[in-house]
Chains A and B, each alone.
Chain A
Amino acid sequence: MNRLYCDAADGRLARAAAWRDVHGPEVSPPDETVIPGRIVYVGRNAKGQSVYWTTVGRSRRVLENVWISVWALYGQTLANWEILDVDETPA
């Protein structure tokens, strides 16, 4: 199972949420260059999920189709991925 935090803005919210999920609230994410669309692996959370974050810009719906298409090539489905839009996720 994988978890992907999505951010329509500059990625700061998604990155912070992913880091909080994996490392807890005490650890701040390091500064890093954000490459639009890149899916960044953070680590495993307490549930054993692989946690990623990404930016989706104005292409959230397009990307969902892209991801579903790619998953299908590797025998995965939406059941293998939990997609969380950070602006809809309670802090």
Chain B
Amino acid sequence: MWTKRPRNVVYYCYGSAHSSVVAAAIHLGVLPDNRVPTPTEILSLDDFDRTSTPFIGTLYCRGRDELGCRVYTLGVGGEPALVVESFLSMVEACGDSRSAFWLVDALPHLSPIAKVGGMLSRRFGMVGVGRRIAVWGVRHRYAHLVRFVHEVKATLRQLPV
């Protein structure tokens, strides 16, 4: 699929508030990959359960990993394929190559419980209960998220610079 390592990795999900934020944090070592983080550790992430609807589509740079790749999060809303294509097309229109970016879908790696919690908090404004459920959901399936990020990083490592 790739002939050389992309310079940028973008974890995307519906609203850039849960799965993409947690995946990027694992990728960058902000959250641990050898144990389940505490609720406080998850809630201390800058954007966890905080991005609001008007900011869906805004790209957030989270840092640079040990391979030199910039790591971003992005909310794509309800038409992910269209938004991802538009993102990469615009990169091309700006004179760069699509292969400069790897956009990775983080949403399937979030537990359904966390999705419900996120929806209660972000869509219905029930922040107190929704956020607690989202944290619980992330912790419940955290090992799965770690495996997903490890696969992304393993792919990056295999690619020549």
Contacts and interface: CB of A to CB of B under 8 A. Distances in A.
Interface of A: 2, 35-39, 41, 50, 52, 54-59, 61-71, 73-74, 76
Given A38-B85, A74-B96, 5 more contacts: A2-B93, A35-B85, A66-B59, A68-B58, A70-B90
A66 B84 CA distance: 9
Contacts of A36: 79, 81-82, 85
21 contacts: A36-B79, A37-B79, A37-B83, A38-B89, A39-B86, A41-B93, A57-B82, A58-B79, A59-B57, A59-B77, A62-B77, A63-B57, A65-B57, A65-B58, A66-B59, A66-B74, A66-B83, A66-B87, A68-B58, A73-B59, A73-B94
Contacts, number: 88
Interface in B98-125: none
Q: Which 3 A-B pairs have the closest CB atoms?
A: A65-B57, A37-B85, A69-B59
Contacts of B96: 74
Nearest to A61: B57
A42 B2 CA distance: 28
Interface residues of B, number: 27
A57 to B, nearest CB: 5
A interface: dominant SS:
mixed
Interface of B: 54-59, 74-79, 81-87, 89-96
Most interface-central of A35, A36, A63 (chain B CB within 10 A): A63
A73 to B, nearest CB: 7
Given A61-B57, A62-B76, A65-B55, A37 B82 contact: yes
Contact of A74 (B82, B85, B87, B95): B95
Contacts of B95: 74
A66 B103 CA distance: 13
A37 B95 CA distance: 18
A70 B56 contact: no
Contacts of A61: 54, 56-57
A65 B56 contact: yes
Given A55-B82, A57-B82, A58-B78, A69 B89 contact: no
A65 B57 CA distance: 5
